[in-house]
Amino acid sequence: MPEHTGLSAPPVRLIASDLDGTVLGHDFRFRPRTVAAITAARDAGIQVVFVTGRPSRWLHPLHEQLDDVGVVICSNGAVIYDPGTERILEASVFDVAQALPVVEDISRACPGSLFAAETLDTVHTDLGWSRTDRMEVEGITEAPLAESLTPGTEVVKLLAKLDDADPAAYFERVREIVGDRLSVTHSVAAAPLVEMGQRGLTKARTLERFAAELGVSSAEVMAFGDMPNDLEMLTWAGRGYAMADGHPGVVATVSRTAPAFTEDGVAQVIEQYLVSVPGDHVHDCAGEHAGEKETDRA
């Protein structure tokens, strides 16, 4: 259950939330109570930012349901995107020269693995990659990555999958192979799908920098998530909440638990926080920096 938060801890000035499984269901829809809670937090002067593994092209559900989406941290922290202006404000990428040796090593150790590479402009996939995109991607290139990724290409995210493999075992094997060359995580626990980004990249690393530009400390951040790619963010935030129906390892590691998505868990926690803190106190502490983030960082 959401814990009671009094005034002993610093007030919340920034709420950071994962999307899928946390505030979005399988139908890509927010629950009405969640939208109301997010709106109430913003009305109280608290900045809200979504932090997702999704690429920027998958943010359409937010436009359709929220009047103000705000800046979004995408691709597990690799991209900071402004949906309002459709501009990439910041990108943490890696060169194709780092990606291809990883592809070769995984292919050698795990025969049958297929790969996809996200760039800032499009997606490259191996032949036979069963794409799970639910939205159209213009200019997708389907060919062996070694052929389609030209020298100098900047990669946002490299993905590896091995159909019919045990998801946990495949993830651990890939992480062992990749080592510290790239960051390795996963956001779909039931699928043998591994996501790789720039070395050292996590949602937490980008969120920390984003918060610092607002003058917000980790103690003033409330965060929500449900999968392993959320873990660093949830443990960094002063008030990090794992969703009760999330990955068991995440729930076990994070000290706070929010009710399940189907119980409007994020909304419950936000509602409880807002009633526990006098409105003027929230505005005084959060309003000073709300909206001050520089928008031209490309």
pLDDT in tens, 206-232: 999 999 999 999 999 999 999 999 999
Q: Report the mean per-residue pLDDT for the chain.
A: 88
Q: What are the percentages of helix, strand and coil residues in the chain, rounded to 5?
A: 35, 20, 45
pLDDT at 25 over 80: yes
Same fold, 14-92+202-286 and 94-197: no
Give me the pLDDT at residue 283, please. Answer: 52
- The residue ranking higher by pLDDT, 92 or 144, is 92
Chosen CATH of 94-197 out of 3.40.228.10, 3.30.1240.10, 3.40.50.1370, 3.30.479.20: 3.30.1240.10
User: What pLDDT is stored for residue 154 in this prediction?
Assistant: 96
Is the pLDDT confidence value at 2 over 60? no
Domain ranges of the chain: 14-92+202-286, 94-197
Residue 141's H or E segment, with its range, is strand 141-142
pLDDT at 107 over 50: yes
Residue 238 in this model has a pLDDT that exceeds 80? yes
pLDDT for res 119:
94
For strand 79-82 and strand 87-91, is the pairing parallel, antiparallel, or unpaired? antiparallel
Q: Domain 14-92+202-286's class?
A: alpha beta
| Spatial CB neighbours of 77, under 8 Å, sequence gap ≥ 6 | 51, 92, 197, 201, 202, 203, 204, 205, 206, 207
Share of the chain above pLDDT 90, in %: 73
- Mean pLDDT for the stretch of residues 78-85: 93
Tokens of 282: 């929230």
